[in-house]
Amino acid sequence: MGLRMGALIIDSEAPGRLARFWAEALGWVISHAEDPEWVVEPPAGSREDCVVPDLLLIKVPGCKTGKNRLHLDLRPDDQSAEIARLEGLGARRVDIGQGDNRSWVVMADPEGNEFCVQPAHPPQVHADWLRAYESHQPVRTDGA
C-alpha cells in the first residue's frame, strides 16, 4: 500500500490573503478559493504536481501565537534576491533565537508563520539535483 501526503494544513485568519502570498511565493496556483478553505497547489503537469503536498489554508478565529512546530524551507538559486522578492510580497525577517552566523534566513509570511530561506546548494549538489529533477516525468492525467 502506498501513501501519498495530500496537503499541509495552515490555520489562518485570512486564508485568501495567505493563499495569494504562498501561490506567488512558490509559483503555484490557487485551485480552490472560497472560505473557509483555500488550496494552493503546483501547476497541473508540473514536476511538482502529484508529488509535493498541496497547501490547504483553513479559516480559524484568532491570530497565531507562539513559534511554528513545522515550517517550510525554501532553497532558491539566489538567496538574497529571493529574500528581497519575498519581502516585496509581504514576508519579513524574524528572530526566533536562531542566532547570528547562520547560512539560512528565518522569515515569516503575512500572518507570522515562520519559514526559512536556505542558501543555494553547492554547484555539484545542485547539478545532481537538477539532473534528477529534469529526468522526472509527471504522471499524465489527460488520458494520453
Structural domain for 11, as ranges: 7-61
Predicted local confidence at residue 114, as pLDDT: 95
Q: pLDDT tens string for the chain (144 positions)?
A: 566 778 999 999 999 999 999 999 999 999 999 999 999 999 998 888 888 899 999 999 988 888 888 899 999 999 999 999 999 999 999 998 888 878 999 999 999 999 999 999 877 777 777 777 777 665 555 665
Cα distances (Å, whole numbers) of residue 142 to 28, 39, 44, 45, 136: 20, 21, 10, 10, 18
CATH number at residue 131: 3.10.180.10
Predicted local confidence at residue 68, as pLDDT: 85
Assess contact for 31 and 41: CB atoms under 8 A.
yes
Round to whole Å and give the CA distance between 91 and 108: 5
Q: Which of 70, 69, 43, 38 is nearest to 55 (CA)?
A: 38
Q: Is residue 54 part of a domain?
A: yes
Predicted local confidence at residue 35, as pLDDT: 93
CATH number at residue 52: 3.30.720.120
- Cell representation of residue 80: 538574497
Note the residue count of the chain.
144
Assess contact for 19 and 30: CB atoms under 8 A.
yes
Q: Is residue 140 part of a domain?
A: no
Q: Is residue 112 part of a domain?
A: yes
DSSP state of 24: H
Q: Is residue 81 part of a domain?
A: yes
Q: Is residue 126 part of a domain?
A: yes
78 in the same domain as 130? yes
Predicted local confidence at residue 58, as pLDDT: 96
